[in-house]
Structure 1
Amino acid sequence: MCEKTNKTGVALIDSRPLTRISISHLLTSFSDDFVILSYPDIDEFVAEYVDCPYKLEAILINAGVTRVSEDHISNGIQRLKHKHPNLPLVLLSDRDELVDILDAIQIGVRGYISSTFSPAKIIHSLQLVISGGTFIPSKALLEIIEKTAKPIAEERPNGGKIDPAALQTFTSRQMEVFELLRQGKSNKFIAYELGMQECTVKVHVREIMAKLKATNRTHAAFIASQISDLEH
């Protein structure tokens, strides 16, 4: 049943009762800010959402070991995008291969969460997507950068390079700040998006600048902007 509440609502679609119940319990018990509405399949979610007075903020699909490229997963995602274009889709998966992550992003998934993540990290990833961001595991981001660093460097007028080894020294928080910096967001915006103090953001930006060997914030933003846009 749907209830009116001020909490963040997330629809969880998972065909397996045990994992569906377990994930719902873990997330709601770990954070008082979330309410998880569970559905065994897309059909039931679509049918119940029509008359639901409760405002959902995202849809979380647990794909398990199934590849996103398989028809019933990709077709289901396309159907949800058509029915609810304003609800961001997040995939929870047992697979962490780069090809699977890129397939998911390309068909419109806004978040790709590994089933190895802790409940806290899953919640934080959902919050990032709900706030308008895109989330992929940092391991995948580093792999993409390693594959694209050389051609990107060759195309840059100033010949600058992003050192993948430097990115490996980033904390998870610095990676989040770096992603928003890459999008050209201001310190104030980053602070709002990540629920931080602006002075804390400035500390992270300074540390990012040092690790990237950037001369100033503008230079750091320029270096970050050269990374291939993961949202497309």
Structure 2
Amino acid sequence: MSGIMYERIPDANHAVFNRHAAARRAEFRIASTELRPQRTLAIIDGCAAARQHLSWGLLSSGLGLRMATYGSIEDIEEHEAAEFSVVLVCADDSRLMDNSIGPEIEALVRRFPSIPVIVQAELCGPQQILSVLEQGACGYLPGNAGISVCIEAISMALAGGVFVAAENLHDIQRMLGIRRYQFKCGGMFTPRERDVIEVLRQGKANKTIAYALKLAPNTVKVHVRNIFKKLRATNRAEAIYKINTMFDEMV
């Protein structure tokens, strides 16, 4: 099933035509008298009314892109995708929660690697946003984003950037910082030493660490000594300071 194309034409109101008609024109080399922009935005949304409303809103804003709308990712045909400059996927929250849409987004990015993909959804938790970005998307829009925010995200994707709404940016940066911190610690410390560090950062004594981790006090003492050595710290205060500094740098 092919999508529907919407575009703004000079000296006329919005025109709508079926993509199959365009394909037939191309097949028989029928010249078109319509003036068409070079770039196309593909909107994928399971709700026909929603995708039509968004496409007309973006057209009215003067974005300067043609709009091709589809009910699902599977509806996109190869010859159509060749004309896309950016793809906007409007995702259902339930599919984000169980991550069932994740493989589809990842497959879409692999299938058309040169086309930036933006995801829009009501659910804007940092975990969902980060997951979508890790699957290759170039942006994440909240479901209540206005036309101006959509244009900003599309423009940034076309320029090669990644868009995340301002209200979500701090949480995403923090999560990325934690992951970088964990990665760095993973290369420097053993798993048991990382467990000790988490309690050590709270300022706990060795006996408390031993009780919390169900370890012998002498074992904790060995781990703490090894942590000091790796950090080149001479005491607990210096070790905690260096660990916290390392974490702050990542965040």
| Matched residue type, 1:91 | V
CA separation of 1:53/1:84 partners in 2, compared to 1, >3 Å: closer, same or farther?
closer
Asked if the contact 2:130/2:172 (under 8 Å) is kept, the reply is no
How far apart are the structure 2 equivalents of 1:129 and 1:67?
Answer: 23
Name the amino acid aligned to 2:44: I
Which of residues 154, 157, 160 in structure 2 aligns to 1:132? 160
Give the CA deviation at 1:36: 1.3
CA contact 1:67–1:95 (8 Å) conserved in 2? no
Judged with a 3 Å threshold, the aligned counterparts in structure 2 of structure 1 residues 144 and 81 are, in CA distance, closer, same or farther, namely closer
Find the counterpart in structure 2 of residue 41 from structure 1. 72
Task: Kindly provide the amino acid, as one letter, of the partner of residue 60 in structure 1.
Answer: L
Question: Residues 44 and 88 of structure 2 are in contact (CA less than 8 Å); yes or no, is this contact kept in structure 1?
Answer: yes
1:89 aligns with 2:120: no
Deviation at 1:74, TM superposition (A): 1.1
SS of the residue 1:86 aligns to = coil
CA gap of 1:66–1:5, structure 2 versus 1, over 3 A, is: farther
Q: Sort the Cα spacing of 1:30 and 1:78 in 2 relative to 1 into closer, same or farther, 3 A.
A: same
Partner of residue 57, structure 2: 26
Question: Structure 1 counterpart of 2:60, which letter?
Answer: S
SS in 1 for 2:37: coil
Provide the residue aligned with 2:6 in structure 1: none
Match of residue 120 from structure 1? 148
Change (3 A) 1:32 1:60: closer
Contact kept in structure 2, 1:67 and 1:100, CA below 8 Å: no
2:88 to 60, 84, 93: 60
SS at match of 2:91: strand
In structure 1, the partner of 2:191 is none
* Structure-2 residue corresponding to 1:100: 128
Distance 2:159 2:86 in 1: 10
> CA offsets, 1:174-212, max 9 Å, x none?
xxxxxxxxxxxxxxxxxxxxxxxxxxxxxxxxxxxxxxx
Structure 1 position 13 matched with structure 2 position 44: yes
Distance in 2 separating the partners of 1:135 and 1:141: 9
Q: Please state if 1:141 is matched with 2:169.
A: yes
What 5-or-longer segments of structure 2 have no aligned partner?
1-17, 23-34, 185-248
Alignment TM-score, normalising by the size of structure 2: 0.54
Q: Which amino acid aligns with 1:36?
A: M
With over 3 angstroms needed to count, the CA separation of the structure-2 counterparts of 1:144 and 1:73, relative to structure 1, is: closer
Equivalent-residue separation in structure 1 for 2:92 and 2:112 (angstroms):
23
User: How many pairs does the alignment contain?
Assistant: 152
Q: Distance in 1 between matches of 2:173 and 2:82?
A: 40
Question: How far apart are 1:79 and its partner, in Å?
Answer: 1.9
Aligned partner of 1:21: which letter?
Q
When Rg is computed on C-alpha atoms for both structures, the one with the higher figure is: 2
% identity of equivalent residues = 18
Gaps of 5+ in 1: 156-225
The CA deviation string for residues 138-169 of structure 1, in whole angstroms up to 9 with x for no partner, is: 122122445649x98xx9xxxxxxxxxxxxxx
Where 1:105 maps in the other structure, the secondary structure is helix
